Structure 1
Amino acid sequence: MPAEQEVEPKAGGVAAVERAFAILHAFRAGDTSLNLSELAFRTGMYKSTILRTMTSLIREHCIVRLDDGTYQLGSMLLHWGGLYQAALRLDDHVPAILRRLVQETGEGASFFTRENNLRVCLFRIDSPKSVRDHIRTGDLLPLDKGAAGKVLSSFDRALTPPANFPEHPLIATVGEREPDIGAIAAPVFGPAGSLRGAIAISGPAARFSLETIPEMSQAVLKAASDLTRRLGGDPTIFETALASLHVTTTGLSAPSATTA
């Protein structure tokens, strides 16, 4: 076990609050409960400090002490999560992410959700370029064509079992929905892996080449990760994809090799 050390408050922070957050952050997916030794190991805090902080966390129902002496996250966290979800509106988060995506890629950015066997554009920010893909808020487009449609059908639990979800959360298509249009899309998740929609960029196919797609894909993955985090989802899948970028493309051929 590493040498124990007290958690130092970040600049402008309060030490007691930082310690409480350190304890809450120690719990990970799959943990049912943690004992004092495991909490000390994960937080780097003295056991005596953890016990003092636990008194407040237990009193406020953020932590529950079980009969076997281990600790579990408390009901107050679920209460706060419910308040957050009730106050959460896509309008507060999606447009800002789309504007940033347009600035970074120069292409139009959209957010789609599934409507039966179609997809509907809920939010749209146009490209500043004169030649662009003309999509409008409220447009209904095919679910089986285009990057966003493929993302929605591939990651929707009502259509595809989770075991069959694509390994990589990014799809690029060129000339599939329309001959001269290219697009890159990624899913956006909410709590418990629920699919909230697909975020996408689209534009003239000539601007979606094997040379430009990787950089634009990074921007789309970062946007999907950020929006997923804001909507209460787990962004891990996007962080993994960014670390080893892999793009699934449809309708794009690699240039033939040349020899000297």
Structure 2
Amino acid sequence: MAQDRVEAVERALRILEAFDSSQEHFTLAELAQATGYYKSTLLRLLGSLERHDYVQRGDDSRWRLGGSPSRLARRHAPSQWLATRLQPLLDRMASETGETAALLEVQAGCVECRLVALPDNALRHELRPGQRWTSASTEDPRPALPGGTMGYRALETPAATPLHWLTLSGPASRLTPSRAGRCLDKALATLRPSEEMTT
């Protein structure tokens, strides 16, 4: 409700939302452009956020997320089955293919990255747990990937539970759709059907 809004909190949250980007560090000018706030207003809000470790200021005066968002995110971590069964699978896929392996969850037209394993390659598709985007359709969880490819396979899920997709993504010059599909099919074959999403 509008009367329940606290303006300073709304502004601080808008600043944190600006960090939901592939860009990891921001100058004060970049944050001002992203939020529409004056630099003087930003500095006051960033000071409060910094004291509680929601943001950190580097030696280069650029701002990045602090440790508190990750600490709170762990309170809403994926289920034990996802963490113990799928994360090792994603790690193995990323190691064997040199590409980014991820588990995506789709609810109400919104896709969220739940788990990810990044390869050591400098040229790769960057994904982060908690990253979100709008899905093109219920059958296609991919984000916009200029110059990139994402293969995807649905996991079997019980009724009334969110849809989950196993994905493999990387530069189109290196990862073809057919290669991504073969790798995903091989990964899914290692999961017993009764195991897929029985949390």
Compute the displacement of 1:184 (Å): 0.5
Query: Aligned to 1:125, which of 117, 120, 125?
Result: 117
Question: 1:180 & 1:215 partners in 2: Cα distance?
Answer: 16
Question: 1:101 & 1:142 partners in 2: Cα distance?
Answer: 25
Whether the 8 Å CA contact 1:191–1:232 is kept in 2: the answer is: no
Q: How does 1:20-169 map to 2 (within 5 A)?
A: 89-144=81-136, 153-154=138-139
Query: Aligned to 2:148, which of 181, 187, 195?
Result: 181
SS at match of 1:113: strand
SS at match of 1:104: helix
- The TM-score normalised by the length of structure 2 is 0.51
How big is the alpha-carbon RMSD for the aligned residues of Structure 1 and Structure 2? 3.1
Compute the displacement of 1:112 (Å): 0.4
Segments of 4+ in structure 1 off by > 4 A? Answer: 191-196
Structure possessing the higher radius of gyration over alpha carbons? 1
1:232 to 1:113, Cα distance in 2 relative to 1, 3 A? closer
Whether the 8 Å CA contact 2:104–2:164 is kept in 1: the answer is: yes
Query: Aligned to 1:220, which of 181, 184, 187?
Result: 184
- The TM-score normalised by the length of structure 1 is 0.40
SS at match of 1:182: strand
Residue deviations 1:41-60 (CA, integer Å, cap 9, x gap): xxxxxxxxxxxxxxxxxxxx
Question: 1:179 & 1:143 partners in 2: Cα distance?
Answer: 16
Which residue number corresponds to residue 197 of structure 1? Answer: 164
Residue deviations 1:200-227 (CA, integer Å, cap 9, x gap): 0111121133xxx433321101223334
Whether the 8 Å CA contact 2:150–2:180 is kept in 1: the answer is: no
1:217 to 1:193, Cα distance in 2 relative to 1, 3 A? farther
Aligned length: 120
Residue type matched to 2:167 in 1? A
Residue deviations 1:106-131 (CA, integer Å, cap 9, x gap): 10101000132210000011121011
Compute the displacement of 1:191 (Å): 4.8
1:184 to 1:228, Cα distance in 2 relative to 1, 3 A? farther
Residue type matched to 1:201 in 2? L
Compute the displacement of 1:91 (Å): 1.2
Whether the 8 Å CA contact 2:116–2:128 is kept in 1: the answer is: yes
SS at match of 2:190: helix
**Unaligned stretches of 5+ in structure 2?**
1-78
Whether the 8 Å CA contact 1:108–1:203 is kept in 2: the answer is: yes
Confirm or deny that 1:229 pairs with 2:196.
no
1:232 to 1:138, Cα distance in 2 relative to 1, 3 A? closer
